[in-house]
Structure 1
Amino acid sequence: MEWLAEWPTVHELVDELVLSLKRRQSRGSYETAKMTTHVLSKVLETVKWSTAGEILEKIRQLGHMLTKAHAHELAIGNVVRRVLYIIREEHSNALKLSSMDTAAPVSAPPSSSRNHNLSRSLGTILTPGTDTDLSIPIADLKLSVMEGIAELIDEIDSLHVNIADQAMEYIHTDEVILTFGLSLSVEAFLKMAAKKRSFKVIVVESAPSLNGQRTAHALAESGIHVTVIPDSAVFALMARVNKVVVPAAAVVANGGLIAQSGLQNIALAAKKCSVPVVCVAGLIKLSPLYAHDLDVLSELLSPSSIYNYEDIVETLEVLNPAYDYVPPECVRIFITNTGAHQPSYIYRLLAEYYSPQDYQLS
């Protein structure tokens, strides 16, 4: 990207982020989203641009480069799409205000235009309309966009707190909760509930990574009654469980989720026993793509964690997938930083957070 070379400070920040992503140095989606938002904010603030179309093209190029650096971390693309949506939204709002100021307000009451904008129909959301002219210069557009980015940064910073604040509505006294894997959101959610509720938690150890043991240790330090079980015991104990509370690596467009390998078995066992599965995930994990469009499901880890090299025969092929896909019919509800949503409502969230033009960044 030749335009980036004109801004050495920003270029250095971008190179550092790309190198960090390639080396897998970021710790989870939350930290990756924060780093990506910080770099995009610096680009928008430093690089010279005068129209929305000009900066949209540059951010798309940058987003494509970042997602290529770590294709399996979907939060990167989600943050880029959110920034692109903010730019489009601020540009559109500025044009509407400009047209309202120049139009003669004699044919309709002052509130009619606002009411019309607020009452967009379902057909309007799902049907792509004519694009606004992104080449029109807008005064103070950069300031409005930076304010929107600041709100996005605040949203990411308060993500875990906003999710945890909803815990009392879903965790009740004397319940048995089953959880899986390692997640700051799930940990904060259960710890908040434990302040006023007495309940038991069964933690699946999540072999071969054994992340569940770290989760169990963190919950036990907060005074929660914790039992650790192997993955093979999930089905046997599911009948005693009241709820399954799990994290997600990504929430896809049809309401399904991508999660650490092993969660699909838990979700199927819960469905068989009619136990509700509650997915705790911030909206930075909301992806407009479908599972069959994602490379993340093809990521394979080293087989050394599940099979000793000295035991492998010449004709044996060992696959160790990193992620599972859980279909929407296995999930009861998603708890996000903006509230609780059913899988069937995901399409509406996508319309509110992303623009269809930005679903594909390439």
Structure 2
Amino acid sequence: MINVLKSSSRRHPFSIETADSYVLKDGVGANMTDSHYFSGHASDGTSFFFRHAKRSDQTTEIWFCLKTSDGKVLCNKEELYPSSSCPADVRCTISGEEMSFSFNGQVAYAHRGDDDILFLEKNGLNIRARATFIASMPPFDFSTGLNPAFVAGALAEEKWNKTFWRNLKQNRQVHYEQPGIIKLEATIENQTYTYVLPAMRDHSYGYRDWNYMNRHIWLMVLFEDGEVLNLNMVDYPHMRNLMTGYISSKGNHTSLRSLTNLKKLGQDGIVPQQIDIEIPLMDNHVATLIGNRELVADFSFADGKYHICEGVGNFAIGEKKGRGILEFGYNRDTSRWK
């Protein structure tokens, strides 16, 4: 399996210029997507995330959520727009270095309900927001950047039949992430606010059938010392135990071995109020990551067949502090979570 993964990396080399310039065309096939995601978090409690995901059915999914340092939260009122009249835009200004994005639409103040899930006020507000993402490190491409030995270990637990190989090929995506900063300017009711936040961007494109997924987890931490931690668990019917991760520090990305206890989180369909997991590092040292939920935004996909609960929270490894994302995704069929 290791040789298969290495061969795949050679056949599909990653090009940041090609990836950053990719634009999904309408009508190219069912379940194709081109998703840009930006997430910024500061030590004063300010958080911001934005998603622009164009789909091949001529619709575009939009997320816009801003939590200010005083605890106020603003979120977009509509999630799905016709691509021809979408009030948001993303474009690459310098490949691998700079992206710009904007949103000119309706938002509303949001409040925490049960399990810190946000609900919106009825009254909407017009917002004009524009932002620039400036990279601070090179991108990390999941197909070529992960240690193949770690991925092979997860795949070794699966049944390598024709269905496995067919679904592995069909669900292939280009997927990469990059640390940086976000410079955000937002005008609400004639008042303009500016923010500069440590950030992470994520870009993925290719085939994505949300209803095919059982569930997934993504933990992303922007530490105050500049390091970035990413942990992932994806559960497909053909691949139940894929858990990966990496640490970014001083311009370098280091793969992590599989987290055996990551999949145990959120099995009840709720973003955990607190997480406590062990992270195996390259030097065989095991670190304990503590995370605390602050808020959760619930987004629906595929006519409600799949939900992403986008949690914002704070984290710590010992005295090392940070803030970031606790993302938990669930298929509507609860029997598929186990």
Q: Same fold per TM (> 0.5)?
A: no
| TM-score, reference length from structure 1 | 0.25
Q: Which is richer in helix?
A: 1
Q: Which is richer in strand?
A: 2
| TM-score, reference length from structure 2 | 0.26
Pick the structure with greater CA Rg.
Answer: 1
Q: Give the number of the structure with larger relative contact order, counting CA–CA contacts within 8 Å between residues 6 or more apart.
A: 1
